[in-house]
Amino acid sequence: MQRFRAGGRLAAAKKYDILSAMMAHALAGGAAEQRLVLRLMALITTRYNWQNNDLSVAQREIARLWCVDERTVKRDMARLRACGWVVVKRQGARGRVSVLGLDLDRILADTRPAWANIGPDYVARLTGGGDPAPGPDRTVIPFRRSDITADGSVWGLARVRLAAEDATLFEAWFAPLADGGVEGDCLTLIAPSRFHAAYLRTHLAVRLRQAVMRGHPGITRLRIEPS
């Protein structure tokens, strides 16, 4: 499910890095975001099995830990699943609780804009850069970057979010998409070719939909059509 593994010789440091990323992300957001992330961090530090990526705990126990009612637990866990941070590994049945997991890669991608608030050493460590990167090489001509200024539209806001998560992936696959408009709960995106549209549907549709839904929860469907 994920490439990030909190195991091996540096397991403890990796766990702290994940929690630090979540903390920085929460502190950069509003009160509702802070409360939701704090509640998830409470579950991680008390009930999460890092080795197996398992989070198996009843709603009643979560409610007691969070000091809320079970209806609040259902609502917040649904929000965490919708944003892709929590995934269902095995649905509960016949009195058995569901086994959940964390998409650590998704968490790191979503929290990346706040990493700089921790410090350049943290950013360098998580990006595999070692020491902070030197200044740009003036002998290299950079590729032209797409204009990612938010225009207030559904796709405009999603473009900004996708570019912040992974600039290289954005330039290759998301930047060429044109806004086909919103109809009801469906956003239509126009790809430059049939191959481009097919690749997005197969490999990146979930990521696209999550980026759209984080800004506009009412948009639950996505159509990708060739031009």
Between strands 186-191 and 99-102, the pairing is unpaired
Q: What average pLDDT does the chain have?
A: 83
For residues 198 and 209, give the distance between their C-alpha atoms in angstroms, rounded to a whole number. Answer: 15
Model pLDDT, residue 138: 42
For range 113-140, the mean pLDDT? 68
- Which of the two residues, 99 and 169, has the higher pLDDT score? 99
Name all domains of the chain by residue range, CATH numbers in brackets: 11-110 (1.10.10.10), 154-226 (3.30.300.180)
User: Which residues on adjacent β-strands are paired with residue 189?
Assistant: 179, 224
Model pLDDT, residue 1: 36
Residue 144 has pLDDT above 70, yes or no: no
* Crossing angle for the helix pair 70-82 and 59-66, to the nearest 10 degrees: 100
Beta carbons within 8 Å of 29's beta carbon, 6+ residues apart = 37
Amino acid letter, residue 106: R
Give the model confidence (pLDDT) of 10-51 as tens digits: 466 788 899 999 999 999 888 888 999 999 999 999 999 998
For range 111-118, the mean pLDDT? 89
Model pLDDT, residue 130: 47
For residues 197 and 48, give the distance between their C-alpha atoms in angstroms, rounded to a whole number. Answer: 38
pTM: predicted TM-score of the whole model, two decimal places: 0.56
Residue 105 binned pLDDT confidence (cut-offs 50, 70, 90): confident
Residue 139 has pLDDT above 90, yes or no: no
Model pLDDT, residue 68: 95
Residue 149 binned pLDDT confidence (cut-offs 50, 70, 90): low
User: Which residues on adjacent β-strands are paired with residue 100?
Assistant: 55, 88
